[in-house]
Amino acid sequence: MSDTMHLTLTDRIEEPGNIIRLRFARADGAALPPVTPGAHLDIHLSDGPLDLWRQYSLCSDCSQTDHYEIGVLRDPKSRGGSEAVHRLAQPGTVFKVEGPRNHFLLDETASRTVLLGGGIGITPMLAMAQRLHALGRDFTLHYCTRSAEITAFRQLIAAAPWADRVVFHFDDQPDAQRLDLARDLPPPAPGTRLYVCGPQGFMDWVITTAEAAGHQTANVHREYFSADVDTTGTSFEVIAKRSGLTVTVGPDDTIAKALARAGVKIEVKCEEGVCGTCVTDVLDGTPDHRDKFLTEDEREEGTMICACCSRACTKTLVLDL
């Protein structure tokens, strides 16, 4: 488990499109734990009855150790996390932070890399672009937004030495300027890697199209910020083998909540199956995977489950808890 830190917000930069760029540092200025491109922070949001953990990708240069930087979209359709960040994130505020963790690792040995960021999904791509440039690697960054006027980080990108590697795509522009996957994706090749992050619809479109074009699943890397997940279904039983407990997970319940009521706590943060915090080993039974975190190979193995949202295909699941 990652160590807990208390970091001070030193800068708040307003970006277009209801996005804020936030910079965190230690109060004493000491170096922060090292990070790799694609890493994220778990940030605790506490304000009255609000008690949430949310994950935000680092967009800063990973070679810098004096600060971390993230970008946060204010999304009124979210479950309260982004609104809380925009309200609470004032310079001088101290936040409880865990991480960094990385489930979106950059393959630095790839012969060609294509980064595809939709909206706020650009944040991990910025860190990857900086690293690939420093390594002298061949890469292109496609950045898709609704319009130029609400495109965050444009000034940061314009000042970057890798600005010529960035292709902007705006929805309100002619078709030739929009992202065209038939044109903009490279041919499949063993040394070519694709990285995609953004809204679920954008990601599903890119991933499905890339794999249909012949890109191997293992070469198409993805990270979901959020997901539309249906956690409901038929009741089933969960046996927590080490704890010697059996619980019933009802139609509108989740494994994590049912076990918590019985005294078996599974750490949960995103509640949408995107962060991997709640992944638990399965000893017997068949999971009904609802998450966006596990790979297809991991799903087929059936030895792990995201307890915050996934269910069971069998009447009973035995977990290593």
| pLDDT digits 0-9 by tens, 242-290 | 999 999 999 999 999 999 999 999 988 888 888 888 999 999 999 999 9
Task: Please tell me the distance from the alpha carbon of residue 57 to that of residue 46, in angstroms, as a whole number.
Answer: 20
pLDDT average, residue stretch 174-185: 92
229 contacts: CB under 8 Å, gap ≥ 6? 272, 273, 290, 291, 292, 309
Nearest in space to 286 (alpha carbons), one of 236, 232, 217: 236
pLDDT attached to residue 50: 85
Asked if pLDDT for residue 35 goes beyond 90, the answer is: yes
| pTM, to two decimals | 0.85
For residue 58 the two structure tokens come to 């680092």
Q: Among the residues of 38-108, which ranges form H helices?
A: 81-88
Nearest in space to 308 (alpha carbons), one of 221, 229, 209: 229
pLDDT attached to residue 1: 42
| pLDDT digits 0-9 by tens, 76-130 | 777 678 899 999 999 999 999 999 999 999 999 999 999 999 999 999 999 999 9
Phi and psi at 249, nearest 5°, equal -100, 110
Nearest in space to 4 (alpha carbons), one of 37, 44, 45: 44
Angle at the Cα of 7 from the Cα atoms of 6 and 12, rounded to 5 degrees = 150
Task: Please tell me the distance from the alpha carbon of residue 12 to that of residue 21, in angstroms, as a whole number.
Answer: 6
Q: What is the mean pLDDT of the chain?
A: 94
| All structural domains of the chain with their residue ranges | 4-101, 112-224, 236-319
Task: Please tell me the distance from the alpha carbon of residue 318 to that of residue 281, in angstroms, as a whole number.
Answer: 9
pLDDT average, residue stretch 50-65: 93
**Fold of the domain built from segment(s) 4-101:** Elongation Factor Tu (Ef-tu); domain 3 (2.40.30)
**Fold of the domain built from segment(s) 112-224:** Rossmann fold (3.40.50)
Which residues on adjacent β-strands are paired with residue 58?
A: 70
**Fold of the domain built from segment(s) 236-319:** Ubiquitin-like (UB roll) (3.10.20)
Roughly how many angstroms between the first and final C-alpha of the chain, as a whole number? Answer: 16
Query: Under a CB-based contact definition with an 8 Å cutoff, are residues 160 and 130 in contact?
Result: yes
Task: Please tell me the distance from the alpha carbon of residue 251 to that of residue 236, in angstroms, as a whole number.
Answer: 9
pLDDT average, residue stretch 151-166: 97
pLDDT attached to residue 226: 74
